[in-house]
């Protein structure tokens, strides 16, 4: 596992509209990769001027833009009244609305290339049923060729619902044989209903992206690593065991702190990740 790929999601700035200045700050803090949280109103991917301005700058940043997080609701700020966009919706018109919105966000790749796009495996209330799995199959039948034509690989994300345990997603992808689709492992979501290090091993060979954040197993808090109850040494050991080589992307909330302070702390937590990895290597050397 390459710990040099230290990533940050613009989820940290979700309470404001995304700006070029914020992307420059992320770069200035030394992060290697970026994920754009492509949900309105934070990032309006249909705003041509904004999309063009961001893309022009990103083109000069090498492989900085690693991924976008595709939309899973129409208005992220709506909180309790959110209208979910679910590729697992058995109702055709609602499912097609979700697919259409995801395709609109993927059109950003026509301005600036990026390798990955994260897609939620359904909505929070979606249940494990053949109807929901069939809906995902049909949705991917539309989304996959659209993404592949733009050089983008889709990664289904585990969220706290019955559909999207990592083991369930891996089994679905193997049985459905839908093509080149991976898994985005979300540590916080995993911790709410399973053991993160166990789920990572369940996803061996399929995990191509990560969302790393912590919680106390009660709410999806998006805390900095080591501020909750996740055993990060075991998480990193599991990622090493499955030979994960992608970016370690932190998906954080500011919790009323200046985003600059959170970015500074995030870099410090990456240092703690590196120390965990050094300790793991030393232990293996002693045992070997």
Residue with tokens 């041509």, as numbered in its chain: 48
The gap between the terminal CA atoms of the chain, to the nearest Å, is 20
Separation CA 214–CA 93 (nearest Å): 36
**DSSP letters spanning 237-283:** HHHHHTT--S-EEE----TTS-HHHHHHHHHHHHHHHHHHHHHHHHH
**Helix H segments across 15-164?**
20-28, 48-58, 92-106, 130-148
Separation CA 77–CA 73 (nearest Å): 10
Instruction: Delineate the domains of the chain, giving CATH numbers in brackets.
Output: 6-287 (3.20.20.150)
Sign of CA dihedral 191, 197, 198, 204: positive
Distances (CA, A) of 98 to 28, 70, 91, 119: 35, 10, 11, 11
Q: What is the chain's pLDDT, residue by residue, as a tens digit (288 residues)?
A: 545 699 999 999 999 999 999 999 999 999 999 999 999 999 999 999 999 999 999 999 999 999 999 999 999 999 888 999 999 999 999 999 999 999 999 999 999 999 999 999 999 989 999 999 999 999 999 999 999 999 999 999 999 999 999 999 999 999 999 889 999 999 999 999 999 999 999 999 999 999 999 999 999 999 999 999 999 999 999 999 999 999 999 999 999 999 999 999 999 999 999 999 998 888 888 886
Distances (CA, A) of 238 to 174, 232, 233, 235: 21, 10, 9, 5
**Burial call 106-116: b when 16+ CB within 10 Å, e when fewer:** bebbebbebbb
Separation CA 133–CA 122 (nearest Å): 9
What does the pLDDT read at residue 282?
87
The H or E element that residue 183 is part of is strand 181-186
* Dihedral class, residue 131 (left if φ above 0, else alpha if ψ from -120 to 50, else beta): alpha
Q: Which of 2, 1, 11 is nearest to 186 (CA)?
A: 11
Distance of CA 257 to the CA centre of its chain: 22
* Dihedral class, residue 217 (left if φ above 0, else alpha if ψ from -120 to 50, else beta): left
What does the pLDDT read at residue 79?
81
Separation CA 118–CA 115 (nearest Å): 10
Sign of CA dihedral 93, 147, 21, 251: positive
Cα angle 158, 14, 182; round to 5: 25
CA count, 13 A, side-chain hemisphere, 52: 3
* Dihedral class, residue 255 (left if φ above 0, else alpha if ψ from -120 to 50, else beta): left
What does the pLDDT read at residue 107?
98
What does the pLDDT read at residue 196?
98
**Burial call 59-79: b when 16+ CB within 10 Å, e when fewer:** eeeeebbbbbbbbbbeebeee
């Amino acid at each position: 596992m390459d710990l040099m790929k230290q990533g940050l999601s613009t989820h940290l700035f979700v309470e404001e509209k995304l700006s070029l200045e914020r992307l420059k700050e992320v770069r200035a803090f030394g992060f290697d990769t970026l994920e754009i949280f492509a949900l309105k109103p934070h990032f309006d991917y249909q705003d041509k001027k904004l999309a063009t301005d961001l893309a022009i700058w990103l083109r000069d940043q090498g492989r900085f833009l690693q991924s976008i997080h595709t939309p899973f609701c129409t208005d992220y700020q709506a909180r309790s009244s959110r209208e979910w966009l679910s590729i697992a919706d058995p109702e055709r018109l609602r499912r097609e609305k979700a697919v259409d919105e995801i395709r609109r966000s993927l059109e950003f790749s026509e301005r600036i290339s990026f390798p990955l796009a994260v897609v939620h495996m359904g909505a929070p209330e979606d249940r494990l049923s053949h109807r929901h799995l069939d809906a995902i199959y049909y949705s991917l039948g539309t989304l996959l060729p659209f993404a592949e034509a733009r050089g983008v690989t889709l990664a289904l994300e585990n969220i706290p619902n019955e559909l999207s345990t990592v083991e369930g997603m891996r089994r679905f992808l193997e049985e459905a044989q839908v093509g080149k689709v991976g898994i985005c492992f979300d540590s916080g979501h995993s911790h709410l209903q399973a053991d993160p290090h166990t789920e990572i091993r369940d996803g061996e060979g399929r995990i191509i992206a990560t969302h790393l954040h912590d919680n106390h197993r009660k709410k999806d808090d998006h805390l900095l690593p080591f501020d909750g109850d996740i055993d990060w040494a075991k998480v990193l050991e599991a990622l090493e065991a499955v030979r994960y080589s992608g970016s370690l992307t932190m998906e954080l909330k500011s919790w009323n702190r200046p985003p600059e302070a959170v970015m500074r702390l995030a870099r410090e937590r990456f240092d703690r990740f590196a120390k965990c990895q050094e300790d793991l290597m030393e232990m293996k050397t002693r045992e070997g």
